[in-house]
Chains A and B, each alone.
Chain A
């Protein structure tokens, strides 16, 4: 049964066997699931910003910084 998925090995294009393709799909799905499971954390880290910027925020208005961080947490809840 043709998989119509290929690999490049030392310059030669070779079609994956059904077993290889099934493994590829399983690996890909597992990786994607793990990636998506970590979305909440990546989104939080990106929204928090760098440490130096946050320290500056705290220095100027600690409560405002705390409220912003809480809003980021609320918008990106940790999965149960």
Chain B
């Protein structure tokens, strides 16, 4: 079946029935289209609005509209904000522009380091990453074990951040095992009220391959009091990142 232009009455000159000229619009004010099969579009506006990058088309209850994913789409799901893959040696992996959500999650997979790192950490920023939080207000608690241990150990009781007391870095894992060059680790970090209130809480989990038959794993919880909202985060470790993927999610509130 061939594509054809609809016929219209051309009243501009001698009344005649002609094909709708390319570039003209079919005015259906007050009318609708029913029973359409497949509709192939090159663009879509709603009420004259185009929407902006990242918005989703969602129901308003009485029609449809473009809305932010955090407000209208996703229905309480974790929405992917961005993802970064490490393809060369870097000291930090940074996400900026963390706005629009109160709760975030960062998931890392198959992360590899240049050498065996003695720690893994994250650090927030209130100015988009120009400066990094440098107070010692993080309080963390870590439990960790490996598959050769008979009991779960508590490596750190309530204490300030793992590193220098002025660094402002929050611990994810105290001794990220990578004894063999082909070993990696994976995990996730959940941030609660990251830019939503005075208190930011976090839970981090990480699992490492140590040797082919041995794994290590740990879970860290922590909290930080900050009167200024955060909007960026970076990850670091005792050795450069040389591989792996980091994906940032925001939790929709509806």
Contact = CB atoms under 8 A, between A and B. Distances in A.
Interface of A: 5-11, 13, 16, 24, 27-28, 30-32, 34-35, 42, 45-46, 49-53
B162 A31 contact: yes
Given A5-B91, A28-B238, A50-B150, A10 B163 contact: no
A74 to B, nearest CB: 21
B88 A11 contact: no
A7 B84 CA distance: 12
Chain B interface SS verdict (over half): loop
Given A6-B88, A8-B84, A10-B82, A34 B164 contact: yes
Interface residues on B, range: 35 or more
Contacts of B93: 7-8
B94 A27 contact: no
A8 B94 contact: yes
B196 interface: no
Interface string B94-122: 11110000000000000000000011010
A32 B238 contact: yes
Nearest to B153: A45
Contacts of B153: 45-46, 50
B89 to A, nearest CB: 7
